Structure 1
Amino acid sequence: MSKVLAAVFAFIAICFVLGNAAPAPPTQLLDAHTAIQKIIAAYNRIPGPSVVHPWEVAHVIDPNTFVAHF
């Protein structure tokens, strides 16, 4: 039991340390448009063709009538 309690206290301590970490400097904060543009630019630097998956039909499952068969 003491090992579990020690693990819980360690987890809580790590959460407090990460929660109090310094935020990024204002020069590194990006707005949504700039962040998306940077992601697209990084993706475009990947060599080779993109993988195109076939079109799929979306199926809606009624949770009231759904039965899982295992």
Structure 2
Amino acid sequence: MHFTDKSIKALKPKENLFVATAKSDARDVGRLQLKVYPTGTKKFQFQYYTNGRRRIEIGPNGALSLRMPERNF
């Protein structure tokens, strides 16, 4: 999925937490993800691999520009 304001708003909460991952054709790089909680909260995280899986939470949707995570990660 390519994250846009419209696509993020269209993600509705489900009974369980789910993670939407940005489409990336690049290999050996991390991926931008959006965690959608049952409460409707949406938080960005960056997933990457070094000696196993790692995740860095970037922050809630709306607290920063959508362009910021794409530029910096």
TM-score interval, smaller chain: under 0.3
TM-score (norm 2): 0.17
Greater relative contact order (CA < 8 Å, ≥ 6 in sequence): 2
TM-score (norm 1): 0.17
Which is greater in Rg? Answer: 1
